[in-house]
């Protein structure tokens, strides 16, 4: 099964193409790193696959041919946006209650046990938590929905190194222990190095490279995911997408 299939996918805002001619197939069972500079089209691609935006051209399906935004897709995909959205005036317990009521399925016991392990009080308001704690609550809410696919848009961008490490460790555990496929957009290449098994490089709205990390490293004689991605980004043509 492929978690994402795109054919000629494009998204235009006015006269500017945020994503163009994207043809891509990402298999299930991987932590997929989606990397690229600001404005590369990463968030646009993620928003298209979770159904928040509609394509300008081409097609995209998720979870083996499912239409983004359909009930099946909504039940099978959990999405954590870049700003780790939580209602700041609600307590953590209230966030669990709200998410449970809005979800097709929700593992309350898992969520409470995980938050207790992290030392995050259920009675504390979300806005009073540290940035790392807020990210962990958002991730817990997503994982408690027991998704087939977990989509994360720059989840560690504002976190300190320890919080980034802890967050990524949870993502890797979910992928390995629970069989969750993960699509993770991030600028922090050093953190992606230890968790990603599949790589997609985007630049100027186009896919520059995609494939299994080990295969790509061997093919291009690179010692690390970071060096491979940076090499492709440095050699991206300078023309701006129009």
Three-state DSSP class for residue 240 = coil
For residue 99, the model assigns a pLDDT of: 95
Distances (CA, A) of 12 to 9, 21, 143, 242: 10, 11, 32, 9
The dihedral through the CA atoms of 37, 66, 83, 116 has a sign that is negative
Q: What is the pLDDT along the chain (242 residues), one digit of tens a residue?
A: 999 999 999 999 999 999 999 999 999 999 999 998 888 899 999 999 999 999 999 999 999 999 999 999 999 999 998 776 789 999 999 999 999 999 989 999 999 999 999 999 999 999 999 988 999 999 999 999 999 999 999 888 778 888 888 888 888 888 888 889 999 998 778 878 889 999 999 988 999 999 999 999 999 898 889 889 888 787 765 443 32
Q: Taking the domain 2-87+148-234, which CATH number applies? A: 3.40.50.300
Give the contacts of 174 (CB within 8 A, at least 6 positions apart): 143, 150, 180, 182
Do 123 and 157 contact (CB within 8 A), yes or no? Answer: no
Q: What is the C-alpha to C-alpha distance for residues 64 and 72, in angstroms, rounded to an integer? A: 11
pLDDT at site 239? 41
Token reading at 94? 């209230």
Q: Which of 124, 191, 125 is nearest to 152 (CA)?
A: 191
158 in Cβ contact with 150 (< 8 Å): no
pTM value is: 0.90
Q: Are 138 and 80 in contact (CB under 8 A)?
A: yes
User: Around 209, how many Cα atoms within 13 Å sit in the side-chain half-sphere?
Assistant: 24
**What is the residue extent of each domain of the chain?**
2-87+148-234
| Continuous segment of H or E residues that includes residue 177 | helix 161-178
């Amino acid at each position: 099964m492929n978690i994402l299939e795109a054919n000629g996918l494009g998204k235009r805002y006015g006269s500017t193409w945020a994503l163009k001619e994207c043809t891509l197939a990402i298999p299930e069972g991987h932590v997929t790193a989606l990397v690229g500079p600001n404005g590369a089209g990463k968030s646009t691609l993620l928003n298209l696959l979770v159904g928040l935006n509609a394509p300008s051209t081409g097609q995209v399906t998720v979870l083996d041919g499912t239409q983004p935004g359909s009930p099946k897709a909504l039940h099978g995909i959990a999405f954590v946006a870049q700003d780790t959205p939580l209602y700041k005036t609600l307590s953590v317990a209230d966030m669990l209650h709200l998410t449970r009521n809005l979800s097709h399925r929700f593992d309350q016991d898992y969520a409470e046990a995980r938050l207790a392990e992290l030392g995050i009080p259920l009675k504390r308001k979300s806005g009073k938590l540290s940035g790392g704690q807020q990210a962990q609550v958002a991730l817990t809410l997503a994982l408690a929905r027991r998704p087939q696919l977990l989509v994360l848009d720059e989840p560690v961008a504002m976190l300190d190194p320890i919080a980034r490490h802890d967050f990524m460790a949870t993502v890797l555990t979910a992928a390995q222990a629970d069989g969750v496929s993960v699509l993770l957009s991030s600028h922090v290449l050093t953190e992606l190095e230890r968790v990603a098994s599949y790589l997609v490089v985007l630049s100027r709205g186009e896919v520059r490279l995609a494939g299994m990390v080990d295969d790509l490293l061997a093919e291009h004689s690179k010692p690390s995911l970071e060096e491979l991605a940076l090499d492709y980004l440095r050699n991206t043509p300078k023309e701006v997408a129009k």
